Amino acid sequence: MTAVAVTLESRPETVPPGTAAADVVATDLAGLRARAERAGATEVDAALRGGGGLAGFAALLSPAAGERLEELAQAAHATTIRRFGPTVRLYAPLYLSNECVSVCTYCGFSAGNQIARRTLTVDEVAAEAAALAGQGFRHVLLVAGEHARIVSRDYLVACVEALAPVIPQISVEVQVWDSATYRRLVAAGCDGLTVFQETYDAGTYAEVHVKGKKRNYAWRLAAPDRGAEAGMRRLGIGALLGLHRDWRTDALALAAHAGALTRRWWRCEVTVALPRLRPAAGFQPADALTDRQFVQLLCALRVALPDVGINLSTREAPALRDALIRLGVTTMSAGSHTEPGGYAGPSDAEPQFEIADTRSPAEIAGVLRAAGYDPVWKDWQRA
Amino acid sequence: MIRTDPLVIAGREFGSRLFLGTGKFPSNAVLADTIAACGTEMVTVALRRIDPAATEDILDALPAEGVLLLTNTSGAADAGEAVRLARLARAAGLPEWIKLEVTPDPRYLLPDPVDTLRAAEVLVADGFTVLPYCPADPVLCKRLEEAGCATVMPLGSWIGSNQGLRTQAALEIIIEQALVPVVVDAGIGAPSHAALAMELGAAAVLVNTAIGTARDPVAMGHAFALAVTAGRSAYRAGLASPAAVAAASSPLTGFLS
C-alpha cells in the first residue's frame, strides 16, 4: 500500500461558540433529568399534546408516562402520519473498510481486535453500489472504521465520485473530519453526514474510547456543525443507548442536540438514530433498555420533535421493527451487511455488529406495503 | 428592582419588554408621560421627524437616561434610502441602533423583504445594531438573523391596523426557530394582543398606534405594560394547552404484552 501523508489539523478540545454543539454543552441536562423523574399526570398530559420542547420530552420519558404507553404511541402515530404520511425511506449501509486505529470498548472494529480486516478498492465499492442499486436502493450510507491513512480523505472523495453517477443520495458515516474535507465530499456528490456521539456523557465517553483520535469528545460533538457549514443537507446523529449508565440522560442530550441542529442549521434535515446496545459476548451494556422503554423513547422523541426523522437499523429484531413502523420510524435500513464487501458477493471480513433483521430489502418493502406504508427508495437527486 | 428576567439585545439589558413607537401622540407632553407610565426602555423615533432646529422637538419628550432611542428609517422606499437614513442618524450623533424599515407601499406600509435584507447586510457590515421590521416570514427571519441582525421584528398585522396577530401561525414558527429575540411589531391594537404575543414566546412587542391614539394614551400605556408583563409571566410559567381529543383506535403497543 502506498503511504499517504496525514495532514495534522487543529482539533480543539472545546466546542466553538455559536454551534449546536455549544448549545448541547450549555443544556441543563441534570434539570431535565430531574424533570423526567418527577413528572406527574399534569406534565405528561401537557407533553402528550406536543410542542413542549425539551421539557415536554423529559416528561414523556418519565415513569409516569411509561404507565401510559398506549396513549403515547397513539400520539406518536398521529404525529408521524400528519408530518410524514404513511411512508418509510429505505437505505443501505455500505461498509468501505473495517480498518481502525481507535480502541473503543463496544465496537467490533476496535483496533485491538484480532479480526479479518479489509478495505474495498474504489472499483469494489462501485460493484457493491451496483449490487445495492440492483436491489432498488437509491440512498447509500458509506461506513468505515477510523483510519485516516487507509480510509483517507482522497479515498472517501474517490468513493463518492465513483458512486455519484449511480446512486442519487450518498451519505457518509466515517471518522469525523474538518470542514474543508466535508466541503470536498459535498462537491463530490455527498449530501448527508452521520455522526453518532455514542454517549453525550463526557466521563463515559472517555472511559469507552480508550485510544485514538475519537477520544476528542468536543471535536466529534461539533462535527455535524462542520458538516452543515460545508453544505451537507442531511445530518444524522445518534447515541448508543445503554453505553452510559443512565440511558435517559443520553436520550435527553440527543434530543437537545437534534433541536439545536434544527435551529442552528435550519436548512438541514435532521435524523436521529436510536441504536440499542444489547448484552453480547464480551460486552455488557451499562443500562440496557427494555423493549417497553425503547418504545417509550421512540414515541416521546416523535411527539416532542415532530419534524425530526427517526432511523431504525437492522440491529433490532423483525417483530419489533415491524411494530415500530407505525410508531414514528421514518427511515430504515434493510438487508444490511456490516462487513466490507458483503453485497456483491460473500466477504470474509468481520462485521461491525450482528444484525437481527436479516430479511431482504424486497421482503421489508413487502412488510411496509402490507402495513399500509409506502416504501420510499428515492427522494433526492442532485440536479 | 431585581431583574430576574431581563431582555438582552446586542449585549444591552432591558427591564421592560414593551417598546414604544412615538408617532400619532397628541403632544410631546403626553408622549413623555406615556413613556414614564408604561416603563418602556426603548422608544423608536423616525429620523424624518427629528428637527434639531425646532423649539420643541420630539426628542425633547425622551428622558435623559434609562430609555434607548431607536432611530427608525420610516419613509425609506428601498435599501439605498434606508442605508442613507441610518448613516444620517449616525452623523447626527444618534445611537447606532437602527430600526430598519423599508416600506415601498404607502397604503399598507408593508416591509419589502428583499430590500430589508439587502439594507440589513449593509448596515450590519457598517457597524450598526440592526433591528429590522419585516414580514412574518420564517425563512426571511432566519436570513436576517444570519445577516447579523440583533432581533427580528415580524409584523402581527398591517401597521396601524389594530388587527392583532393575524400572522400568528407564522409567528409561532419564527419564535420556535429564532436564535435572536423576536419582537412582534405592528398591528397590536389591544393589550390582549400584546399579552398573546408574549404568551407565544415573543421576547418583546412594539406598540404605537394603539397607545398614541387612545383616548387616554398614558393610561393605555400602563395597560399595555401590565399585559406584556402578564403574557411574559404566563409564558415562563408554562401555559396549559387546550386538551387534544384522544381517539384510541387499534392498540399500537399490544406487541409488548
- Grouping H, G, I as helix, E, B as strand and the rest as coil, residue A81 is helix
- Mean per-residue pLDDT for A198-216? 93
- Model pLDDT, residue A378: 84
The cell numbers describing A19, all together, are 454551534
Name the minimum distance, in Å, from the CA of A320 to any CA of chain B: 8
A253-272 pLDDT, tens digit each: 999 999 999 999 988 999 99
- Model pLDDT, residue B29: 86
Indicate whether A164 pLDDT > 50.
yes
Judged by a CB distance cut-off of 8 A, whether residue A246 touches chain B is no
A111-121 pLDDT, tens digit each: 888 888 889 99
Name the minimum distance, in Å, from the CA of B150 to any CA of chain A: 14
- Grouping H, G, I as helix, E, B as strand and the rest as coil, residue A146 is coil
A326:B251 CB<8 A:
no
Best of A23, A70, A82, A266 to substitute, by most chain B Cβ atoms within 10 angstroms, is A266
Name the minimum distance, in Å, from the CA of B148 to any CA of chain A: 13
Nearest residue in chain A measured CA to CA from B247:
A74
A316-375 pLDDT, tens digit each: 899 999 999 999 999 999 989 888 988 888 887 888 777 888 999 999 999 999 998 888
Best of A74, A324, A329 to substitute, by most chain B Cβ atoms within 10 angstroms, is A74
Global pTM reads: 0.81
The overall average pLDDT reported for chain A is 90
Round to whole Å and give the CA distance between A313 and A333: 5
The alpha-helical segments, DSSP class H, found in chain A are: 20-26, 29-38, 41-48, 53-60, 63-66, 69-84, 122-135, 153-163, 179-188, 202-208, 217-221, 223-230, 247-264, 291-304, 318-324, 361-370
The alpha-helical segments, DSSP class H, found in B53-207 are: 79-91, 113-125, 138-146, 168-177, 191-200
Q: Strands A269-273 and B183-185: what pairing?
A: unpaired
The cell numbers describing B14, all together, are 432591558
More confident residue, B102 or A277: B102
Nearest residue in chain A measured CA to CA from B254:
A70
- Phi/psi at A220 (nearest 5 deg)? -70, -45
Per-residue pLDDT of chain B (257 residues; tens, 9 = 90+): 445 788 999 999 999 999 999 888 778 888 899 999 999 999 998 887 776 666 677 777 788 788 998 999 988 889 999 999 999 889 888 889 999 999 988 778 899 999 999 999 999 999 999 999 999 999 999 999 999 999 999 999 988 788 899 999 999 999 988 999 999 999 999 999 999 999 999 999 999 989 988 889 999 999 999 999 999 999 988 776 655 545 556 788 888 87
A77:B252 CB<8 A:
yes
Nearest residue in chain B measured CA to CA from A290:
B256
Nearest residue in chain A measured CA to CA from B241:
A46
Catalytic residue flag (residue B99)? yes
Q: Name the A residues in 9-48 with CB < 8 Å from any B CB.
A: 42, 45-46, 48
Judged by a CB distance cut-off of 8 A, whether residue A292 touches chain B is yes
Kindly state the DSSP code that residue A266 receives in the 8-state scheme.
Answer: T
- Model pLDDT, residue B60: 78
Active-site residue (options: B99, B118, B222, B232): B99
